[in-house]
Amino acid sequence: MTKATSVDVHRPKVEYFDIAELTNTDPKGFVRDVESYHLEPWGLYMARTADHPQFHYMESWLLPALDIRATVFHFHPAHMRDQDYYIDIGEFGEVGPKKWRSVDHYLDLVVRTGRETLLLDVDELLGAHAAGLIDAAAAEKAVATATHAIDGIAAHGYDFQAWTASLDMALTWR
């Protein structure tokens, strides 16, 4: 018998992207300067520096039609990770003129191009649902979204960019 581990139950993380002001407000309320935004009919690209101990730069695509945010982290050498893309599952989209919002629905994917896609944080989603922080419909949608992304990426040889390109979403990165 294995010992149950406690999960960090928290509200969905909300983040804001202000294209006009070139800022990104993180889930803790810290306003970060953004180096670059690029808007396409199917998504929003953001690139900015980071003062995180493990990475110094990050690039993200918010893709509302897929309910995902794909991020490339530029790690410091001592903190390199075996991942090419980190994908958040949630709600992403415009909330006003030149303003976007993301609401994280706990599940994450790690894509290792050409090899695999890992599903993370199922325990967080279940814990949040049990605590009443996310309703059954949103939790079910998160699972369906993650499954759709995993299937799409796998069908393209575990190549996230090939999958999005097949959907006419040509992602570019720094």
**What is the average pLDDT across 139-143?**
98
* Residue 1 in this model has a pLDDT that exceeds 60: no
Please report the pLDDT score of residue 100 as a whole number: 98
Q: To 5 degrees, how large is the angle CA 20–CA 21–CA 25?
A: 115
Q: Residue 38 is inside which H or E element, if any?
A: strand 36-40
* Residue 2 in this model has a pLDDT that exceeds 80: no
**What is the average pLDDT across 85-105?**
97
Cα separation, 8 vs 52, whole angstroms: 20
Q: Are 154 and 117 in contact (CB under 8 A)?
A: yes
Please report the pLDDT score of residue 5 as a whole number: 57
Average pLDDT over the chain, rounded to an integer: 94
Please state which of the ranges 75-84, 144-153, 162-171 shows the lowest mean pLDDT.
Answer: 75-84
- Chain-centre distance for alpha carbon 94: 16
Tokens representing residue 56 in the block:
């110094």
What percent of the chain shows pLDDT beyond 70?
97
**pLDDT tens, residue by residue, 68-78:** 999 999 988 88
**What is the average pLDDT across 39-52?**
95
| pLDDT top residue among 6 and 120 | 120
Residue ranges of domains in the chain, CATH in brackets: 14-162 (2.40.380.10)
Rg of the Cα atoms in the chain: 16
In sequence order, what DSSP letters do the residues of 59-123 get, joined into one string?
Answer: EEEEEGGGTEEEEEEEE-GGG--S-SEEEEEEEEEEEETTEEEEEEEEEEEEEETTTEEEEE-HH
Hunting for tokens 């690209």 — which residue is that? 45
Cα separation, 74 vs 59, whole angstroms: 8
Please report the pLDDT score of residue 3 as a whole number: 46
* Residue 48 in this model has a pLDDT that exceeds 60: yes
pTM (predicted TM-score): 0.93
**pLDDT tens, residue by residue, 20-37:** 999 999 999 999 999 999
Please report the pLDDT score of residue 154 as a whole number: 98
pLDDT bracket for residue 113 (50, 70, 90)? very high
